[in-house]
């Protein structure tokens, strides 16, 4: 063997060993301590439900679906599920997605009159060869699978829309007026990561608009080898940088969940100066249970649950 070939083979073996070591470091055979992290303080309602699933040894995917359903069913939350503010024509349209530890994913966009889009997204993942179903097709699929049509426009949301129409003349705002999307990511006792995300999106949006929340890699991404991330805020931006996929790739490159969230927000700051005043928020969870959170501007909160205790934390942010 000549010297050049020997060095090449040695380098290749070294690289393979280093990858193997990294994989070993994140591959669990014993029970690990579960964690759930959720955007905003609605996690105080949703996380305990997800936590019970994890405490019983259940899958992170089941925990996230169960938790997100709590917020979807809460009529007082004006940006998720029933009670969500409608589009500018007065229709509540919902978006949701799920992603599991195997990299499977499912999504519904622009679905109407169905209370639990997160569960429809899961069925898209489990029962079809597709990832996305949209609009009337998504609704048809939901009805075929036992979901019932419900009116999701509450009096509160209708009144807010009527007031908006009067004041704004049917012209959508330039910046998203509310953004309390629920994104939930969890690590289960087997050391597996999954996530779910659900929203009614940008209040009084142009009919047909959907944002990042149902878009895999924008509103949610799970890389079961390294970490998971989800987003809330101005969805158009998360899509433009494939935000949650970017964060997972940063973690794959060795960054902590916190560094990865900060670098994703910094990417927006550097590339899109127009978005420096918008709320752009990420949370991330590493395979080792460490978490991170970061936003563009002040005001983002998230809820973390460990050992059965849920705590709401003010996120650090870039533009001070
Ligand atoms: N982040 C939710 C949305 O923009 O629709």
Å from CA of 171 to ligand 1 middle: 18
For the stretch 6-18, what's the b/e string if a residue is b when 16 or more beta carbons lie within 10 angstroms of its beta carbon? Answer: eeeeeeeeeeeee
DSSP 8-state symbol, 171: P
181 as an active site residue: the answer is yes
Q: Helix (H, G, I), strand (E, B), or coil: what is residue 128?
A: coil
Predicted pLDDT at 70? 98
- C-alpha closest to that of 114 among 134, 89, 88: 134
Predicted pLDDT at 178? 65
Probe residue for ligand 1, chosen from 79, 176, 206, 231 as the CB with the greatest number of ligand atoms within 8 Å: 176
**211 CB under 6 A from ligand 1?**
yes
Predicted pLDDT at 170? 86
Which ligand 1 atom is at minimum distance from the Cα of 95?
5
Chunked into runs of 10 residues, the chain (320 residues) has average pLDDT values of 42 42 46 95 97 97 98 97 97 98 98 98 98 98 98 98 91 73 97 98 95 98 98 96 98 98 98 96 97 97 97 98
Which ligand 1 atom is at minimum distance from the Cα of 200?
5
Q: Helix (H, G, I), strand (E, B), or coil: what is residue 26?
A: coil
């Amino acid at each position: 063997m000549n010297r050049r070939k020997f060095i090449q083979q040695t380098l290749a073996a070294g690289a393979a060993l280093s990858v193997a070591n990294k994989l070993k470091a994140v591959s669990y055979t014993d029970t690990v301590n579960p964690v759930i992290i959720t955007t905003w303080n609605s996690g105080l309602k949703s996380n305990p439900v997800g936590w019970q699933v994890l405490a019983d040894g259940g899958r992170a995917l089941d925990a996230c679906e169960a938790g997100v359903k709590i917020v979807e069913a809460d009529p007082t939350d004006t940006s998720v599920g029933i009670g969500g503010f409608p589009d500018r024509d007065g229709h509540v349209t919902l978006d949701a997605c799920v992603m599991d530890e195997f990299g499977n994913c499912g999504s519904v966009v622009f679905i109407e009159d169905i209370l639990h889009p997160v569960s429809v997204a899961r069925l898209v993942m489990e029962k079809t060869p597709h990832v996305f179903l949209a609009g009337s097709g998504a609704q048809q699929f939901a009805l075929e699978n036992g979901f019932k049509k419900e009116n999701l426009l509450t009096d509160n949301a209708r009144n807010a829309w009527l007031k908006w129409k009067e004041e704004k003349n049917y012209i959508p705002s330039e910046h998203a007026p509310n953004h309390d999307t629920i994104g939930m990511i969890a690590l289960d006792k087997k050391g597996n990561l999954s996530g779910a995300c659900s929203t009614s999106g940008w209040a009084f949006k142009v009919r047909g608009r959907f944002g990042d929340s149902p878009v895999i890699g924008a509103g949610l991404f799970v890389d079961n080898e390294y970490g998971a991330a989800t987003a809330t805020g101005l969805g158009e931006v998360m899509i433009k940088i494939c935000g949650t996929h970017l964060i997972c790739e940063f973690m794959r490159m060795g960054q902590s969940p916190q560094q990865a969230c900060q670098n994703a927000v910094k990417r927006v700051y550097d590339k899109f100066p127009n978005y420096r005043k918008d709320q752009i928020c990420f949370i991330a969870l590493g395979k080792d249970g460490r978490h991170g959170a970061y936003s563009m501007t002040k005001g983002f909160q998230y809820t973390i649950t460990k050992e059965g205790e849920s705590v709401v934390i003010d996120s650090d942010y870039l533009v001070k």
